[in-house]
Protein backbone atom coordinates (compact mmCIF):
# COMPACT_ATOMS: atom_id res chain seq x y z
CA UNK A 1 0.00 0.00 0.00
CA UNK A 2 2.88 2.38 0.74
CA UNK A 3 4.20 1.90 -2.81
CA UNK A 4 0.76 2.76 -4.17
CA UNK A 5 0.57 5.90 -2.06
CA UNK A 6 4.05 6.93 -3.21
CA UNK A 7 2.93 6.36 -6.82
CA UNK A 8 -0.18 8.50 -6.32
CA UNK A 9 1.89 11.32 -4.83
CA UNK A 10 4.44 11.13 -7.63
CA UNK A 11 1.71 11.26 -10.29
CA UNK A 12 -0.35 13.89 -8.45
CA UNK A 13 -3.46 11.68 -8.36
CA UNK A 14 -5.86 12.75 -5.61
CA UNK A 15 -6.35 10.34 -2.71
CA UNK A 16 -7.39 10.10 0.96
CA UNK A 17 -6.42 7.58 3.59
CA UNK A 18 -8.57 5.96 6.30
CA UNK A 19 -11.90 7.24 4.95
CA UNK A 20 -15.17 6.71 6.82
CA UNK A 21 -17.28 4.30 4.76
CA UNK A 22 -20.39 6.30 5.62
CA UNK A 23 -19.13 8.93 3.20
CA UNK A 24 -18.94 6.42 0.37
CA UNK A 25 -22.41 4.89 0.14
CA UNK A 26 -25.95 6.22 0.09
CA UNK A 27 -26.95 3.99 3.05
CA UNK A 28 -24.48 5.96 5.22
CA UNK A 29 -23.07 2.81 6.82
CA UNK A 30 -19.82 0.86 6.73
CA UNK A 31 -16.34 0.79 8.24
CA UNK A 32 -13.30 2.69 7.09
CA UNK A 33 -11.65 2.29 3.69
CA UNK A 34 -7.87 2.14 3.83
CA UNK A 35 -7.48 4.29 0.71
CA UNK A 36 -9.81 6.26 -1.56
CA UNK A 37 -8.42 7.30 -4.94
CA UNK A 38 -10.03 9.98 -7.11
CA UNK A 39 -8.66 9.91 -10.67
CA UNK A 40 -9.53 13.06 -12.57
CA UNK A 41 -9.40 11.82 -16.16
CA UNK A 42 -8.63 8.92 -18.50
CA UNK A 43 -4.88 9.51 -18.32
CA UNK A 44 -4.89 9.14 -14.55
CA UNK A 45 -7.07 6.02 -14.76
CA UNK A 46 -4.68 4.41 -17.25
CA UNK A 47 -1.69 5.27 -15.11
CA UNK A 48 -3.40 3.95 -11.98
CA UNK A 49 -4.38 0.62 -13.49
CA UNK A 50 -0.98 0.24 -15.06
CA UNK A 51 0.41 0.34 -11.53
CA UNK A 52 -2.30 -1.89 -10.01
CA UNK A 53 -1.54 -4.67 -12.52
CA UNK A 54 1.82 -5.16 -10.86
CA UNK A 55 0.67 -5.36 -7.26
CA UNK A 56 -1.80 -7.41 -5.22
CA UNK A 57 -3.92 -4.64 -3.74
CA UNK A 58 -7.65 -5.27 -3.72
CA UNK A 59 -9.77 -2.51 -5.20
CA UNK A 60 -13.38 -1.66 -5.90
CA UNK A 61 -14.90 0.95 -8.22
CA UNK A 62 -17.53 3.36 -6.95
CA UNK A 63 -19.54 6.19 -8.43
CA UNK A 64 -22.15 7.43 -5.94
CA UNK A 65 -22.13 4.19 -3.91
CA UNK A 66 -25.90 3.89 -4.22
CA UNK A 67 -25.95 0.10 -4.61
CA UNK A 68 -22.94 -0.77 -2.45
CA UNK A 69 -22.54 -1.45 1.27
CA UNK A 70 -19.04 -1.68 2.75
CA UNK A 71 -18.62 -4.06 5.69
CA UNK A 72 -18.60 -2.68 9.23
CA UNK A 73 -15.05 -4.04 9.42
CA UNK A 74 -14.09 -1.70 6.59
CA UNK A 75 -12.19 -2.38 3.38
CA UNK A 76 -8.43 -2.91 3.52
CA UNK A 77 -7.87 -2.17 -0.17
CA UNK A 78 -8.36 0.82 -2.46
CA UNK A 79 -11.69 2.39 -3.34
CA UNK A 80 -11.46 4.04 -6.76
CA UNK A 81 -14.00 6.85 -6.94
CA UNK A 82 -15.02 8.03 -10.41
CA UNK A 83 -16.93 11.02 -9.06
CA UNK A 84 -14.43 13.54 -10.51
CA UNK A 85 -15.13 12.37 -14.08
CA UNK A 86 -18.30 14.36 -14.60
CA UNK A 87 -17.86 16.92 -17.40
CA UNK A 88 -20.57 17.13 -20.05
CA UNK A 89 -21.31 18.54 -23.50
CA UNK A 90 -24.41 18.78 -25.67
CA UNK A 91 -24.54 18.47 -29.44
CA UNK A 92 -28.10 19.02 -30.69
CA UNK A 93 -29.94 15.91 -29.38
CA UNK A 94 -26.88 14.17 -27.90
CA UNK A 95 -25.73 14.54 -24.31
CA UNK A 96 -22.21 13.31 -23.56
CA UNK A 97 -21.43 13.10 -19.85
CA UNK A 98 -18.79 11.61 -17.57
CA UNK A 99 -19.43 8.36 -15.71
CA UNK A 100 -19.01 9.99 -12.31
CA UNK A 101 -21.82 12.50 -12.79
CA UNK A 102 -25.06 11.75 -11.00
CA UNK A 103 -28.03 10.54 -13.00
CA UNK A 104 -30.00 13.43 -11.51
CA UNK A 105 -27.43 15.87 -12.88
CA UNK A 106 -27.57 14.23 -16.32
CA UNK A 107 -31.35 14.62 -16.33
CA UNK A 108 -31.11 18.27 -15.23
CA UNK A 109 -28.57 19.10 -17.93
CA UNK A 110 -30.79 17.47 -20.55
CA UNK A 111 -33.79 19.44 -19.30
CA UNK A 112 -31.89 22.73 -19.44
CA UNK A 113 -31.34 22.15 -23.18
CA UNK A 114 -34.93 21.03 -23.81
CA UNK A 115 -33.94 17.39 -24.32
CA UNK A 116 -36.38 14.67 -23.32
CA UNK A 117 -35.69 11.04 -22.41
CA UNK A 118 -33.86 11.18 -19.09
CA UNK A 119 -36.72 12.46 -16.94
CA UNK A 120 -37.07 9.03 -15.28
CA UNK A 121 -33.47 9.23 -14.07
CA UNK A 122 -33.82 12.47 -12.12
CA UNK A 123 -34.49 10.81 -8.77
CA UNK A 124 -32.34 7.70 -9.12
CA UNK A 125 -29.59 7.86 -6.44
CA UNK A 126 -26.67 6.76 -8.56
CA UNK A 127 -24.02 7.79 -11.05
CA UNK A 128 -24.13 7.60 -14.84
CA UNK A 129 -21.59 4.76 -14.81
CA UNK A 130 -23.48 2.86 -12.14
CA UNK A 131 -26.74 3.41 -14.00
CA UNK A 132 -25.26 1.88 -17.15
CA UNK A 133 -23.78 -1.03 -15.17
CA UNK A 134 -27.22 -1.81 -13.67
CA UNK A 135 -29.36 -0.61 -16.59
CA UNK A 136 -31.07 1.57 -14.01
CA UNK A 137 -34.67 2.48 -14.50
CA UNK A 138 -37.83 3.89 -12.96
CA UNK A 139 -41.36 4.83 -13.98
CA UNK A 140 -41.19 3.01 -17.29
CA UNK A 141 -37.81 4.40 -18.35
CA UNK A 142 -34.47 2.58 -18.50
CA UNK A 143 -30.92 3.52 -19.44
CA UNK A 144 -31.05 1.06 -22.35
CA UNK A 145 -33.77 3.19 -23.98
CA UNK A 146 -31.58 6.28 -24.25
CA UNK A 147 -27.93 5.20 -24.28
CA UNK A 148 -26.35 5.61 -27.72
CA UNK A 149 -22.82 4.59 -26.80
CA UNK A 150 -20.30 4.59 -24.02
CA UNK A 151 -16.57 5.00 -23.78
CA UNK A 152 -14.85 2.40 -21.59
CA UNK A 153 -11.35 1.72 -20.39
CA UNK A 154 -10.30 -1.91 -20.81
CA UNK A 155 -7.98 -2.80 -17.93
CA UNK A 156 -6.84 -5.98 -19.74
CA UNK A 157 -5.64 -4.27 -22.93
CA UNK A 158 -4.97 -0.75 -21.59
CA UNK A 159 -7.14 0.63 -24.39
CA UNK A 160 -10.14 2.93 -24.53
CA UNK A 161 -12.97 1.20 -26.38
CA UNK A 162 -16.33 2.43 -27.63
CA UNK A 163 -19.42 0.28 -27.22
CA UNK A 164 -22.80 0.94 -28.78
CA UNK A 165 -26.18 0.14 -27.26
CA UNK A 166 -26.28 -3.34 -28.81
CA UNK A 167 -22.82 -4.16 -27.45
CA UNK A 168 -24.01 -3.52 -23.89
CA UNK A 169 -26.17 -6.66 -23.71
CA UNK A 170 -28.87 -4.81 -21.81
CA UNK A 171 -31.60 -6.69 -19.98
CA UNK A 172 -33.62 -5.94 -16.87
CA UNK A 173 -31.14 -4.45 -14.34
CA UNK A 174 -28.30 -5.98 -16.32
CA UNK A 175 -25.53 -5.03 -18.71
CA UNK A 176 -22.50 -6.84 -20.09
CA UNK A 177 -20.38 -4.85 -17.63
CA UNK A 178 -21.51 -7.18 -14.86
CA UNK A 179 -19.63 -10.02 -16.56
CA UNK A 180 -16.81 -8.03 -18.15
CA UNK A 181 -15.28 -6.53 -15.01
CA UNK A 182 -12.31 -5.39 -17.10
CA UNK A 183 -14.43 -2.61 -18.63
CA UNK A 184 -14.76 0.68 -16.76
CA UNK A 185 -17.25 3.21 -18.07
CA UNK A 186 -15.64 6.62 -18.55
CA UNK A 187 -18.26 8.49 -20.53
CA UNK A 188 -21.76 8.00 -21.90
CA UNK A 189 -23.58 9.50 -24.85
CA UNK A 190 -27.35 9.63 -24.61
CA UNK A 191 -29.56 10.04 -27.68
CA UNK A 192 -32.48 12.22 -26.62
CA UNK A 193 -35.45 13.98 -28.17
CA UNK A 194 -35.61 17.72 -28.73
CA UNK A 195 -38.55 19.05 -26.75
CA UNK A 196 -39.74 22.11 -24.88
CA UNK A 197 -37.63 22.59 -21.76
CA UNK A 198 -40.67 23.58 -19.68
CA UNK A 199 -42.50 20.42 -20.72
CA UNK A 200 -39.46 18.34 -19.76
CA UNK A 201 -39.29 20.12 -16.40
CA UNK A 202 -43.01 19.51 -15.84
CA UNK A 203 -42.55 15.76 -16.42
CA UNK A 204 -39.61 15.73 -14.02
CA UNK A 205 -41.68 17.59 -11.42
CA UNK A 206 -44.53 15.09 -11.76
CA UNK A 207 -42.17 12.15 -11.24
CA UNK A 208 -40.50 13.88 -8.30
CA UNK A 209 -43.89 14.46 -6.67
CA UNK A 210 -44.70 10.76 -7.11
CA UNK A 211 -41.39 9.80 -5.54
CA UNK A 212 -41.92 12.12 -2.58
CA UNK A 213 -45.40 10.72 -2.03
CA UNK A 214 -44.56 7.04 -2.36
CA UNK A 215 -40.89 6.60 -1.46
CA UNK A 216 -39.03 7.15 1.85
CA UNK A 217 -36.65 9.75 0.45
CA UNK A 218 -36.12 11.28 3.90
CA UNK A 219 -34.00 8.27 4.96
CA UNK A 220 -30.69 6.93 3.61
CA UNK A 221 -31.22 3.92 1.35
CA UNK A 222 -30.09 2.36 -1.91
CA UNK A 223 -33.36 2.96 -3.67
CA UNK A 224 -35.22 -0.24 -4.53
CA UNK A 225 -33.53 -3.06 -2.63
CA UNK A 226 -34.58 -5.99 -4.83
CA UNK A 227 -34.95 -6.66 -8.51
CA UNK A 228 -38.47 -7.30 -9.77
CA UNK A 229 -39.03 -11.08 -9.87
CA UNK A 230 -40.66 -12.25 -13.08
CA UNK A 231 -44.43 -12.16 -12.74
CA UNK A 232 -44.39 -10.39 -9.38
CA UNK A 233 -43.61 -7.11 -7.65
CA UNK A 234 -41.02 -7.28 -4.88
CA UNK A 235 -42.71 -4.62 -2.73
CA UNK A 236 -46.08 -6.41 -2.81
CA UNK A 237 -44.49 -9.75 -1.91
CA UNK A 238 -42.68 -8.16 1.03
CA UNK A 239 -45.83 -6.36 2.15
CA UNK A 240 -47.96 -9.52 1.81
CA UNK A 241 -45.37 -11.37 3.88
CA UNK A 242 -46.12 -8.96 6.72
CA UNK A 243 -42.68 -7.40 6.68
CA UNK A 244 -43.52 -3.72 6.13
CA UNK A 245 -41.94 -1.91 9.07
CA UNK A 246 -39.88 -4.94 10.13
CA UNK A 247 -36.65 -3.83 11.79
CA UNK A 248 -33.18 -5.22 12.43
CA UNK A 249 -31.17 -2.78 14.52
CA UNK A 250 -31.29 0.56 12.71
CA UNK A 251 -32.34 -0.99 9.38
CA UNK A 252 -36.02 -1.19 8.50
CA UNK A 253 -38.37 -2.26 5.74
CA UNK A 254 -39.92 1.11 4.98
CA UNK A 255 -43.51 1.38 6.16
CA UNK A 256 -44.03 3.80 3.27
CA UNK A 257 -42.77 1.51 0.49
CA UNK A 258 -41.94 -2.13 1.27
CA UNK A 259 -39.50 -2.30 -1.63
CA UNK A 260 -37.08 -0.04 0.27
CA UNK A 261 -34.77 -1.03 3.09
CA UNK A 262 -33.85 2.17 4.91
CA UNK A 263 -31.42 3.38 7.56
CA UNK A 264 -33.75 4.71 10.25
CA UNK A 265 -30.72 5.96 12.18
CA UNK A 266 -27.66 4.22 13.52
CA UNK A 267 -27.93 1.22 11.18
CA UNK A 268 -24.85 -0.87 10.50
CA UNK A 269 -23.88 -2.75 7.38
CA UNK A 270 -24.58 -5.94 9.34
CA UNK A 271 -28.12 -4.74 10.16
CA UNK A 272 -28.83 -4.18 6.47
CA UNK A 273 -27.39 -7.55 5.44
CA UNK A 274 -29.33 -9.42 8.14
CA UNK A 275 -32.56 -7.66 7.16
CA UNK A 276 -32.05 -8.37 3.45
CA UNK A 277 -31.36 -12.05 4.22
CA UNK A 278 -34.46 -12.28 6.42
CA UNK A 279 -36.69 -10.73 3.75
CA UNK A 280 -35.37 -13.16 1.12
CA UNK A 281 -35.85 -16.14 3.46
CA UNK A 282 -39.38 -15.13 4.47
CA UNK A 283 -40.62 -14.41 0.93
CA UNK A 284 -39.15 -17.70 -0.29
CA UNK A 285 -40.87 -19.64 2.50
CA UNK A 286 -44.25 -17.95 2.05
CA UNK A 287 -44.47 -17.61 -1.73
CA UNK A 288 -41.66 -19.77 -3.14
CA UNK A 289 -40.27 -16.69 -4.91
CA UNK A 290 -36.57 -15.82 -4.82
CA UNK A 291 -35.80 -12.13 -4.45
CA UNK A 292 -32.51 -11.02 -5.98
CA UNK A 293 -30.86 -8.17 -4.13
CA UNK A 294 -29.62 -5.16 -6.11
CA UNK A 295 -27.13 -4.23 -3.37
CA UNK A 296 -23.51 -5.43 -3.52
CA UNK A 297 -22.04 -6.14 -0.07
CA UNK A 298 -18.29 -5.53 0.06
CA UNK A 299 -16.27 -7.39 2.70
CB 127 within 8 A of CB 102: yes
Rg, C-alpha atoms of the chain = 19
CA distance 122 to 6: 39
In the annotation, is 224 catalytic? yes
User: Choosing from 127, 173, 221, 254, which is the catalytic residue?
Assistant: 173
Reduce the DSSP state of residue 18 to 3 states and report it: strand
CA 71 to CA 215: how far, in whole Å?
A: 26
CB-based contact 26:125 (threshold 8 Å): yes
Side-chain half-sphere of 143: how many Cα atoms within 13 Å?
A: 30
Q: Which of 149, 8, 13 is nearest to 82 (CA)?
A: 13
For residue 110, the surrounding DSSP H or E stretch is helix 103-112
CB 224 within 8 A of CB 237: no
Task: Exactly one of 66, 116, 224, 254 is catalytic; name it.
Answer: 224
CA distance 144 to 131: 10
Active site residue 173: yes
Active site residue 211: no
Whether the Cβ atoms of residue 23 and residue 86 lie closer than 8 Å to each other: no
44, 142, 151, 294: the active-site residue: 294
Q: Is the dihedral of CA 61, 63, 68, 69 positive or negative?
A: positive
The sign one gets for the Cα dihedral 192, 195, 196, 201 is negative
Question: Which residues are identified as catalytic?
Answer: 173, 224, 294
Amino acid sequence: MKKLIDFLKENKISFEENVDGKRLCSFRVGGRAALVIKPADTAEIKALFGFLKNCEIRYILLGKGSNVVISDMGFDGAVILLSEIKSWSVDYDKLSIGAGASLSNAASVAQSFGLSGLEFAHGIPGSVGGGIYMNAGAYGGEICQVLSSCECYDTDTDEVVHLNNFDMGFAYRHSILQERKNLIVLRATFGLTVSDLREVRDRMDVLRAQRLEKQPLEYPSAGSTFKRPEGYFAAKLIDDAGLKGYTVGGAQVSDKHAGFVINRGGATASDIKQLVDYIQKTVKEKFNVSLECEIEFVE
